[in-house]
Every structure is written in C-alpha cells, then in structure tokens.
C-alpha cells in the first residue's frame, strides 16, 4: 500500500510559556517538527500532511519549500478531530501513519517495523512500557494478550490505572477503515474531546487485527510539553548522537560534553575533545583531531588535520594534514589545500590557501587567492573592502609576505616575491623581487615626551 504520513502539530503548548508555537521550539538547533518531518521522509511516503493550528502562519513559513500538505484544525477538539482535518486529502488505498509534531526522537527503523504490521485488514499500534504511566492512555489487553482498547487516564478505573503499558499515540492503519472509524467518534468523555484512541476498540469490534509493537526505547515516544521536558529530550538526543559517533569510529574525550546539531560523518581514529559543537553538515576524515571548545558548522575536514582549541570553522573546506588554530576562524567560503597552517588569531573569509602555505599569527585574509608554499607574516591584513565594493588579493606561489603588511586590494603579489615588514602594498608586486612601501624613518632631535603635572 502507498504510505501517507499525517503529523498532528496543532497544539498551542501553553506550558512552554513562549510566543513561538510548540512545534517550532528548537531541539538540537532544529524545530521539533523538523525532526519529525526528517524522520518521516526516511520512509519515502507518497504524501506528507501536517495538521496545524496555533501559530499556523509561523509554522507554515518555517517549512516553506518542504512539499508538505497542510490541514487546519481551527478548534482543538482532540486527536481524532485533528486527524479528521487531514483525511480529505488522503486516498482510500493509502496506509496512514500518524505521528506527532512534538515527539521528535522516534526512530525510522521502529516506524518501518510498525508499518510492516499494518495492512488492509490490520492496524499497527506503537505502545511503550513505563515505570510510571501517569498521563498516558493505558493499553487494555484480554486474557490472551490481545489489545482490546485504550483508556485515557481520566477515564480509567483503578484497576486500569495499574497497567504499565502506555499508548504512544503513533499508529498505522488503512485509510479507508480509519476514515470510517473517525466518522463514528464521540466526545462523551472526561475532556469532551474526540479521542483517536477510540478507533482501537472500533477495530477490535470490526474484527480488524490490532498488532501492537512495544517501542524499543522510551526516548522514542517522549513528547514535549514544557521547557524542562525539552531539555530532557535535548540531553537524550545529545547522548544518542554521541553514541552514534563512537560506533562510527570516533573517540570522544567526554561523550556528555559534545553537541551535534546536524549531520556528522567521521572516518577512522577520529578524536573529538570536550565541548565541541557541530552544526549543519560536517565531515571529518580519518585521524582528524578536534580540540576542546571548537565549533564546526557546515565544514569538511581532511584526513590527519588537527584543529586546535577554541577555533571556529564555518562553511569551509580543509584539506589533509592541516593545522588550524588555536583561536582561528574560518568564515564562509574558506578553502584550504593540504598541509596548510592557519594559526592563532588568524581569520579567513572567502579565501583559498594553496598546498603548504602558512598564516600562523594575527592575520586577516579576506577575498584572497593564495598559492602554494606562501608564508604570510604576523599582522598581515588584506584590505578588501572600501565601504561599498569588495576586491580580491592574489598572492602567487612561493611568495613571502612580511609581518605587518597591509595589502590593499585589488592587488597581486608575484611568484616568489617578497614584501618587506611594515609595508602597505597598493600596487602589484613583481615576481621574484623585494617590494617595500614604508615611510622614511625620522628622529626628531630635542623632542620631549609630555609630562603630567604633579598632583596638588
């Protein structure tokens, strides 16, 4: 059967005490709903529907371009009512998977197993075993262990409240049957809502098999209602990503002090020190070593490279065997070839450094193309911006840039050229020559330093 995913995301989230809709609250740098959408995409559904309500304009704007179908739940009348809003866009021959916009850590493999239990004459139901099931609907089974119904906590008897198996809310069922059951829902319950859970008893009555699947981990079905729960899920997500990195071949100095807010791939024998933050898409080659307090954002780092402490790499590519930092900053558009050294308090922006080139101290290189084997002295600046336009500096292979140089773009430093320390270079420097641009040194005889007047 074709798969239609329906994500219920209309809740206001009053307990978040925020102007931001609950499903847009950030988890690992991405909205809660974004995690759910991403995981659902892994199932390759025919269609994906999001039921929205509070803050609908914000929610839709945040996911513009995601090819989602939107259904408005204008009144909050329960989960069954929410699902009804999406069903007109779902075909009878589709299998419907119901997910929740505030349950972000559900595993794709778990969903695949759940979908495999559902079919034209069966319904897949994801349950969870709980030490404390308070707040969860209880799964009521008969003496043979078959699921009979789900009872919400407010409607449960004393005996039912002792049941430890809870309802996750996630289910998969054929659209044709689901549509019929939703049409029969009543709101005669303690909350006066149309419960999606009531379709379980309807399925049993219609002799449709209810196939339960117990979630492998509690974290997969945990939802978010307040900021404390959001922080708990953040910690669970962080621990899970750390574990994935270690399984992939990385050594983490402290798995509890690493934060992954994107997609990270690692090679063999990678070492990652404490308090490292990954954002976006990051690739680390074999034997890469990342020092403490480093931020990598949409960066690729080649094999054998060492990134020393307190460095920031953003939208940059680093070759093999490079040395970066400490306290280096690679801004967007930076590209380093192999064996490049970028040292302490060096900043690059939209700059390429060729094989074996070095900028080891206190330097800014912006909009520059640097060739192979170039040495750039401490305190060098490419003056690339005139307040309106940005211009390029080109430094050819083998050039030696003296300390304290101001390279006023557009300008070219020739192959094997040398510029003297303290020079302001505003015209092209020829190949293989020494170019100096200093004012004449003057000593003023008889000059005296101003003296402070003695205090009264």
Annotated catalytic residues are 361
Q: CA 70 to CA 89: how far, in whole Å?
A: 10
Q: CA 50 to CA 110: how far, in whole Å?
A: 21
Provide φ and ψ at 92, rounded to 5°.
-65, -25
**Burial classification of residue 154, based on how many CB atoms lie within 10 Å of its CB (0-12 exposed, 13-18 middle, 19 or more buried):** exposed
Cβ atoms 286, 269 nearer than 8 A: yes
Nearest to 48 by CA among 111, 3, 108, 79: 3
Q: CA 59 to CA 82: how far, in whole Å?
A: 16
């Amino acid at each position: 059967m074709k798969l239609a995913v329906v994500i219920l995301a209309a809740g206001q989230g009053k307990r978040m005490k925020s102007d931001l809709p609950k499903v847009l609250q950030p988890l690992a740098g991405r909205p809660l709903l974004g995690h759910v959408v991403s995981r659902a995409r892994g199932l390759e559904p025919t269609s994906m529907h999001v039921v929205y309500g509070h803050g609908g304009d914000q929610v839709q704007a945040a996911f513009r371009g995601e090819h989602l179908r939107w259904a408005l739940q204008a009144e909050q009348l329960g989960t069954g009512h929410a699902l009804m809003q999406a069903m007109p866009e779902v075909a009878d021959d589709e299998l419907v998977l119901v997910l929740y916009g505030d349950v972000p850590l559900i595993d794709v493999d778990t969903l695949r197993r759940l979908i495999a239990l559902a079919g034209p004459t069966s319904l897949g139901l994801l349950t969870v075993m709980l030490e404390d099931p308070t707040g969860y609907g209880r799964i009521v089974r008969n003496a043979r262990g078959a699921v009979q119904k789900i009872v919400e906590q407010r409607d449960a008897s004393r005996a039912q409240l002792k049941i430890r198996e809870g309802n996750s809310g996630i289910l998969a069922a054929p659209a044709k049957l689901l549509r019929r059951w939703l049409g029969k829902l009543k709101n005669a319950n303690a909350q006066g809502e149309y419960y999606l859970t009531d379709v379980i008893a309807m399925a049993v009555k219609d002799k449709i098999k209810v196939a339960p699947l117990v979630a492998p981990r509690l974290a997969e079905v945990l939802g978010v209602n307040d900021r404390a729960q959001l922080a708990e899920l953040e910690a669970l997500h962080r621990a899970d990503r750390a574990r994935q990195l270690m399984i992939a071949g990385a050594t983490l100095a402290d798995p509890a002090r690493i934060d992954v807010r994107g997609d990270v791939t690692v090679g063999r024998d990678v070492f990652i020190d404490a308090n490292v933050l990954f954002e976006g898409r990051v690739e680390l080659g074999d034997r890469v070593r990342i020092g403490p307090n480093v931020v990598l954002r949409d960066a690729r780092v080649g094999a054998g490279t060492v990134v020393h402490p307190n460095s920031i790499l953003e939208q940059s590519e680093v070759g093999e065997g490079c040395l970066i930092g400490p306290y280096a900053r690679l801004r967007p558009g930076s590209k380093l070839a192999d064996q490049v050294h970028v040292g302490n308090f060096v900043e690059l922006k939209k700059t390429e450094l060729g094989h074996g080139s070095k900028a080891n101290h206190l330097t800014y290189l912006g909009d520059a193309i640097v060739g192979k084997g170039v040495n750039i002295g401490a305190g060098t600046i490419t003056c690339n911006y005139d307040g309106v336009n940005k211009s390029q500096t080109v430094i050819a292979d083998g050039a030696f840039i003296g300390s304290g140089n101001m390279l006023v773009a557009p300008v070219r430093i020739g192959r094997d050229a040398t510029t003297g320390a303290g020079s302001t270079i505003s015209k092209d420097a020829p190949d293989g020559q020494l170019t100096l641009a200093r004012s004449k040194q003057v000593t003023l005889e008889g000059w005296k330093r101003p003296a402070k007047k003695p205090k009264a």
